[in-house]
Amino acid sequence: MLTLGSTSITVVAVIALIAVGALACAFVLRRQVLAAPEGTPKMQDIAQAVQEGASAYLSRQFRTLALFAVVVVALLFLLPGDTGIRVGRSVAFLFGAGFSAAIGYLGMWLAVRANVRVAAAATRPGGRAEGARIAFRTGGVVGMSVVGLGLLGAALVVIIYREEAPGVLEGFGFGAALLAMFMRVGGGIFTKAADVGADLVGKVEQGIPEDDPRNAATIADNVGDNVGDCAGMAADLFESYAVTLVAALILGKAAMGEQGLVFPLIVTAIGAFVALLGVFITRVRGSESGLTAINRGFYVSALAGAVLAGVAAFVYLPGSFDQLNGTAELGDVSALDPRVVAAVAVLVGVVLAGVILWITGYFTDTNKKPTAHVAATSRTGAATVVLAGIGVGFESAVFTAGTIAAAICAVFLLAGGSVWLALFLVALAGCGLLTTVGVIVAMDTFGPVSDNAQGIAEMSGEVDEEGAQILTDLDAVGNTTKAITKGIAIATAVLAATALFGSYAEAVTHALSEVEERGSGLVLSMLDYEIISPVTLVGVILGGATVFLFSGLAIDAVTRAAGAIVFEVRRQFREHPGIMTFDERPEYGRVVDICTKDSLRELATPGLLAAFAPIAVGFGLGVGPLAGFLGGAIGAGVLMAIFLANSGGAWDNAKKIVEDGHYGGKGSEAHEATIIGDTVGDPFKDTAGPAINPLIKVMNLVALLIAPAVVALSVPADANHGLRIAIALVAAGIALGAVAWSKIRANRENVASEESEEKASAVV
Amino acid sequence: MLTLGSTSITVVAVIALIAVGALACAFVLRRQVLAAPEGTPKMQDIAQAVQEGASAYLSRQFRTLALFAVVVVALLFLLPGDTGIRVGRSVAFLFGAGFSAAIGYLGMWLAVRANVRVAAAATRPGGRAEGARIAFRTGGVVGMSVVGLGLLGAALVVIIYREEAPGVLEGFGFGAALLAMFMRVGGGIFTKAADVGADLVGKVEQGIPEDDPRNAATIADNVGDNVGDCAGMAADLFESYAVTLVAALILGKAAMGEQGLVFPLIVTAIGAFVALLGVFITRVRGSESGLTAINRGFYVSALAGAVLAGVAAFVYLPGSFDQLNGTAELGDVSALDPRVVAAVAVLVGVVLAGVILWITGYFTDTNKKPTAHVAATSRTGAATVVLAGIGVGFESAVFTAGTIAAAICAVFLLAGGSVWLALFLVALAGCGLLTTVGVIVAMDTFGPVSDNAQGIAEMSGEVDEEGAQILTDLDAVGNTTKAITKGIAIATAVLAATALFGSYAEAVTHALSEVEERGSGLVLSMLDYEIISPVTLVGVILGGATVFLFSGLAIDAVTRAAGAIVFEVRRQFREHPGIMTFDERPEYGRVVDICTKDSLRELATPGLLAAFAPIAVGFGLGVGPLAGFLGGAIGAGVLMAIFLANSGGAWDNAKKIVEDGHYGGKGSEAHEATIIGDTVGDPFKDTAGPAINPLIKVMNLVALLIAPAVVALSVPADANHGLRIAIALVAAGIALGAVAWSKIRANRENVASEESEEKASAVV
């Protein structure tokens, strides 16, 4: 039995202090952001409306999710296992979920205050650098908080639970992932329903610009940026951080014992310094673009992180595996130096982050061929724009997935044939990838803040042309950074999920050894991970199918909610003709209410699907097919997530190319074609795509948590096939019932909205 | 060692005679079709142009592919194995490829003669029933030929090679699948480039109807229907037939010995009777729709097939497994009756076909909610139409894949835990599914023939309104039958691939036993199919990525080729203003030439990718990751294929709903929105989607063929890692080089076409 020595405890305590330090830095940065001038009263008025809408939505969302969390905690208690661990895991679940929610709320809270300050900065001389600085510092606050809270949570669990920490941390990661998934889905539906609805009536039907104050959906659109792109993203990256750490700690303990449990914490603590460095060195010099500055900040801080991690490996780890006391059977690893393999694995992760940054930039940047090609197809209409964007998305997905696969292969080769060591190194590569998470969060927050700033400027009408151009430039940079963040986030999902696969196998083996009997016949095939078994292959198909269904549900939810908003905005224009002549003020609040109501209702179905599908497959078909299910979900998930994110990014920037005056410029047919492309891309890149990342992790963690129960009900010693099948049927019933319920309701609403629309047209 | 008894040989000889009988029936049906009147000289003129274009394209395509076939035969010789088998396999490859090509050519040859006869029939009284009869009989010819040639090929190989037949049949299936894949890709690019190009300029820019003779792309569009939807589809279904039979024979021999080798042939011979029955009982009664008649024909003949197969199982198979001498370790199957399990497995296949028919009809039919919903979203513009169609596609993919998965699970349960028996039963279910293939082919051929007939009627201007309505109705039925065929085809791919997975494992085990030494360390992990291994998971990701890349390449190829056609048609309108006033005749031939040239050039890249990706993964990462690769390709492939087919079908029929007068009808904004949806769907449903079916099989068969070589180069006994890695690098180089070459060329062309277009606009 492993016991943590006092040196390790000291190291972990220091790490906890570093985490507190990171939080303190976040606090200082926050003060700096809030110290900037707030702009004119009109700007503040608009910002106030956005703040209220965003707070109201998140509060209602948290109340809804609190109920769900109580149910999950109850279910966690029902799982077999040691009582202490079960209590700890449930408490950790609540902490993980709470931290995830807190980070999301904080991100939103600050973003809705930073946006007006960025808009105000754009009106002053030197506004470009100042605006970028405020936006990036805002991101810095969120980034430092993500790192600080993630590290603090993990370090405290290790200090309290010592060698039992991994089991408890599963709860922490699960809570973080589950809440992040709901925030991604709910926020994603909110933001894109508002955005699509606003564009369809405003830009397309009425021919008024984006963010025009006459459009009743503009405030909702700005609220959406904050609850989706900001709060959802912050929670998502926090959960990436937490889950990767959980995987690394579980596998580190198995492969390298005490040092393996502590080293991943050291690597991520280095991430705190890297984030701080990144936030402070990122400054726009002279007339360079914001993207250049951000890229420079990223690469410099990533390099610093890699060097520090290498030093840490050589200082902290011993020179041979004999000096480590892992519990897993590593095989013959005498030829390997733990310091070298650990340092190289972290380096692979850092390099992977850099390559993804580059690939995503290549496929979505306005200056590169793929997006230029999408823009060029606008000459032959919207259909070719959509097709070209889909082509770009597929291709970029393949190259990104190929790069991630190559990184896993590289790490696998590094392990010299030891599967257990390879799994730990994959997790370490994930930690390496995440040393840059602070900078990444800062980069991503940049997007919604500058987008909102532009909106406030447009609505207030109090920013001159030069200021508006500054904000437009910042917004375009935000588009690319947002796409990059999604690539990085999904890479962490693949690495964490791959590593968690190992934990899953370990959990199954452990459960088997507890019942002290391996079954035969049907049970053997149920415990069989061989992919050539027909049922395992069925698992692979079902895993991929879950990703497709989840994506389809998210996209449908946006289409539906956007439709409701289109009808509401049209109604306001129709019933209040004074809006168009600026004589009447649109009822912004009604659109915010519709978005809030619809998003909260629509998030239930994909959430239930994600949580219950693995339960149905696991109890129904066994642990082998469940492994296949996870594999299929990871394979289809990574491709789908990147396809959705990058085709969306390419369409968005293709529109910007046309708006910059190519192929006829604003108002031309080519412009209209690219607007259609961009609208298709909206739910792709901001609703369905980013939610796949937490989806994969939630399903992995559910599988990990239920594995012992599945084994217990399957092996002949105490098999209870009736209960097993009953659980599977109930889970499948909940998942499919939620889908069916959502369909029935949607059909009813379609009919209702069609009738009311027809009645309205009849009146007119 | 198994030796076939004289009874078995007699049975197989009778089956060969049945195959010849099926071919004779096809000949009789062909005479009936050709005996129908050919219509007016103007119609014949148009039909002549289509015939010439189609023949010219297929001839050039076959010349190009002949070269490729020579290279493949040479590579097949290089694989390790017994010389006799290698020669037989290479010859069988040529036969498989030749039969596939012949079926495709025949389908095209007859379709281009039937179309004008259907158009002529529509001008006569009672035209609806007569037109439907000719179109359906044309399909009957192709259907009977598919069944006849497939069965004849397999029966002859069994008679000649006896118990060695399975190894030789791999070559037959591989040839059929490879050629079908190229025909699907090439024909698919041709047909959709012409269709999209014609629509973009004709319908969208010039506002002239589809198939208007002033549009220079109409003849090419009609040629495309024949080389893509007709020739490509016929070859595709032939290869489904051949590969499923191959899988069933290999596994049947392993699981049940002699009887297992012969029984699948009996089941498919029954398919010949079923097809004949289906073709003859399918008659349009009174005013019922063509679809009702086709559905009735399908269900009645499917039922007859199931009953006959059940009878055959009870007559031919013994009552216990002890009386069978399979070579595979079945485990304890004493409780099972071979007759019952075989009959039920076939029944599962037949039921699966019926359920897929129903699901596809539900998601794509104009009278059902999903397509009606897509049509309704046209009120909010093209973007929501595209999004709604994607949602429908994702969902239908999930339900279809779920149904296939359920069928596999059912068959697996039937086998009572014996994996080998389960694999054979999966293959038998595939045979059951294929007893309906004759009717399916007839149904599918219905589509392009009636589409072409409509085109000829429109272009000749010699069909009155009533006749035109008849042809429009027939065309709408064709849209749904085409979608159904794709669902069935992809189901055969999943079943055949799942079963071939077993053959793959058998090939690996056999190769291992030959080198008489199992390796350890790195080699062990290379031979490990466990999905939880990181490299196997990498295989899963790469398999899915190949499907995404293949789809993206196919869609891009269509976008590109369609762009070239748009510029050509625009040029003709610009330089020959007399075309618009009917004073000048457009140069149809130039558009056909562009389509021919572009399709042949574009089919190389996806083809090389499919053939070389599994070689790169297999030699580079090992047989375990290659299994993962296949699993990932199957999982992502089935979902992607159905998503693409059904979203395309839903868009097409949503357009028809609007054209029928809803939401403003023809010429409204809603109509324009659905045209954009339909255009996006064109390459989805007719290029990328259907090509995934042969893609999956080609990759499976390549894996099966190279497995022994991979093992030979990997196990310590005679490992040659240098050669192994070299082969992997060359294969990866060819696959990625083809992709890169295609990109570079595309960029060059984009620049060139942009310049010429700009120059042209400047002149104007």
Q: What is the pLDDT of residues A409-424, one digit of tens each?
A: 999 889 887 888 888 9
Minimum mean pLDDT among A120-129, B231-240, B552-561, B568-577: which range? A120-129
pLDDT at B523: 39
- What is the pTM assigned to this prediction? 0.93
| Mean pLDDT value of segment B207-218 | 82
Backbone angles phi, psi at A335, to 5 degrees: -80, -10
Q: How far is CA B70 from the centre of its chain?
A: 23
Residues 698-727 of A with CB under 8 A from B: none
3-state secondary structure of B2: coil
Contacting residues for B201 by C-beta, under 8 A, at least 6 apart: B215, B217, B566, B569, B570, B573
Q: How far is CA B571 from the centre of its chain?
A: 35
Contacting residues for A526 by C-beta, under 8 A, at least 6 apart: A519, A621, A622, A623, A624, A625, A714
Residues 297-316 of B with CB under 8 A from A: none
| Mean pLDDT value of segment B394-421 | 90
> In whole angstroms, how far apart are CA A61 and each of A64, A186, A187, A550, A600?
5, 8, 9, 20, 7
Tokens of B205: 């820019």
Q: Residues A146, A434: contact at Cβ < 8 Å?
A: no
Residues 180-239 of B with CB under 8 A from A: 196, 200, 204
Half-sphere exposure of A57 (CA within 13 A, CB side): 41
* Distance of alpha carbon A425 from alpha carbon A414, whole angstroms: 8
Does the pLDDT of residue B411 top 80, yes or no?
yes
A345 touches chain B (CB under 8 A): no
Substitution target from A538, A570, A744, A761 for chain B, most B beta carbons within 10 A: A538
* Distance of alpha carbon A379 from alpha carbon A671, whole angstroms: 9
pLDDT at A522: 35
Task: Out of A411, A529, A538, name the one closest to residue B405 (CB).
Answer: A538
Tokens of A238: 């926090």
3-state secondary structure of A460: helix
Calculate how close chain A gets to B549, using CA atoms only, in Å: 6
pLDDT at A286: 67
B634 touches chain A (CB under 8 A): yes
> In whole angstroms, how far apart are CA B619 and each of A97, A215, A379, B89, B731?
45, 59, 45, 22, 9
Tokens of B676: 């954009």
Please answer yes or no on whether A636 and B544 come within 8 Å at the CB atom: yes
Minimum CA–CA partner of A389 in chain B = B556
Tokens of B704: 């099966």
Please answer yes or no on whether B417 and A522 come within 8 Å at the CB atom: yes
ipTM for this prediction: 0.92
Minimum CA–CA partner of A391 in chain B = B552
Residue that the structure tokens 């059929």 belong to: B176
Calculate how close chain B gets to A745, using CA atoms only, in Å: 13
Total Cβ atoms within 10 A of residue B366: 18
* Distance of alpha carbon B463 from alpha carbon B211, whole angstroms: 13
Q: What is the pLDDT of residues B163-201, one digit of tens each?
A: 788 878 888 999 999 999 999 999 999 999 998 888 888
Backbone angles phi, psi at A217, to 5 degrees: -95, 0
pLDDT at A23: 94
Please answer yes or no on whether A536 and B531 come within 8 Å at the CB atom: yes
Burial class (CB in 10 A: 0-12, 13-18, 19+), B220: buried
Please answer yes or no on whether B562 and A494 come within 8 Å at the CB atom: no
Provide the pLDDT confidence category of residue B442 given band limits of 50, 70 and 90: confident
B126 touches chain A (CB under 8 A): no
Contacts A–B by Cβ distance under 8 A? 296
Nearest alpha carbon to residue A549 among B404, B494, B399: B399
* Distance of alpha carbon A373 from alpha carbon A54, whole angstroms: 37
pLDDT at B432: 93
Q: Residues A612, A732: contact at Cβ < 8 Å?
A: yes
DSSP 8-class letter at B688: I
* Distance of alpha carbon B419 from alpha carbon B329, whole angstroms: 9
Burial class (CB in 10 A: 0-12, 13-18, 19+), B162: middle
Helix-then-strand count for chain B, H and E: 22, 0
Calculate how close chain B gets to A190, using CA atoms only, in Å: 16
Task: Out of A394, A531, A675, name the one closest to residue B628 (CB).
Answer: A531
3-state secondary structure of A530: strand
Q: Residues A596, A60: contact at Cβ < 8 Å?
A: yes
Provide the pLDDT confidence category of residue B526 given band limits of 50, 70 and 90: very low
Q: Residues B348, B432: contact at Cβ < 8 Å?
A: yes
Residues 508-547 of B with CB under 8 A from A: 521-522, 524-525, 529-538, 540-546
Residues 731-750 of B with CB under 8 A from A: 747, 750
Q: Residues A428, A345: contact at Cβ < 8 Å?
A: yes
pLDDT at A312: 94
Contacts of B200 in chain A (CB under 8 A): 380-381, 383-384
pLDDT at A136: 83
Backbone angles phi, psi at A101, to 5 degrees: -65, -45
Does the pLDDT of residue B743 top 90, yes or no?
no
DSSP 8-class letter at A208: P
Backbone angles phi, psi at B530, to 5 degrees: -60, 125
DSSP 8-class letter at B320: S
Does the pLDDT of residue B289 top 80, yes or no?
no
Helix A689-714 to helix A604-621 angle (10° resolution) is: 30
Provide the pLDDT confidence category of residue B718 given band limits of 50, 70 and 90: low
Backbone angles phi, psi at A289, to 5 degrees: -75, 155
Q: Residues B19, B158: contact at Cβ < 8 Å?
A: no
Q: Residues A750, A547: contact at Cβ < 8 Å?
A: no
* Distance of alpha carbon A320 from alpha carbon A336, whole angstroms: 7
pLDDT below 70 — which residues of chain A? Answer: 1-2, 284, 286, 290, 514-532, 716-718, 750-764
Q: What is the pLDDT of residues B247-271, one digit of tens each?
A: 898 889 888 888 998 999 999 999 8
Residue that the structure tokens 């439709």 belong to: A563
Does the pLDDT of residue B393 top 90, yes or no?
yes
3-state secondary structure of A82: coil
Residues 415-434 of A with CB under 8 A from B: 416-417, 419, 422-423, 426
* Distance of alpha carbon A680 from alpha carbon A562, whole angstroms: 12
| Mean pLDDT value of segment B528-552 | 86
pLDDT at B470: 75
A555 touches chain B (CB under 8 A): yes
Task: Out of A384, A522, A544, name the one closest to residue B639 (CB).
Answer: A544
pLDDT at B524: 37
Q: Residues A386, A677: contact at Cβ < 8 Å?
A: yes
pLDDT at B460: 83
Residue that the structure tokens 């050894």 belong to: A513
Total Cβ atoms within 10 A of residue B44: 16
Does the pLDDT of residue B550 top 90, yes or no?
yes
3-state secondary structure of B323: helix
Q: Residues B732, B620: contact at Cβ < 8 Å?
A: yes
3-state secondary structure of B201: helix
Residue that the structure tokens 């040629």 belong to: B223
* Distance of alpha carbon A253 from alpha carbon A428, whole angstroms: 12
Provide the pLDDT confidence category of residue B18 given band limits of 50, 70 and 90: very high
B394 touches chain A (CB under 8 A): yes
DSSP 8-class letter at B227: I
pLDDT at A521: 36
pLDDT at B757: 61
Please answer yes or no on whether A498 and B537 come within 8 Å at the CB atom: yes
| Mean pLDDT value of segment B594-598 | 88
Q: Which residue has the higher pLDDT, B517 or B487?
A: B487
pLDDT at B388: 94
Please answer yes or no on whether A521 and B331 come within 8 Å at the CB atom: yes
- How high does pLDDT run on average in chain B? 86
Tokens of A146: 């993500």
Minimum CA–CA partner of B551 in chain A = A394
| Terminal Cα-to-Cα distance of chain A (whole angstroms) | 79
Nearest alpha carbon to residue B682 among A390, A678, A642, A645: A390
Contacting residues for A7 by C-beta, under 8 A, at least 6 apart: none
Share of chain B above pLDDT 70, in %: 94
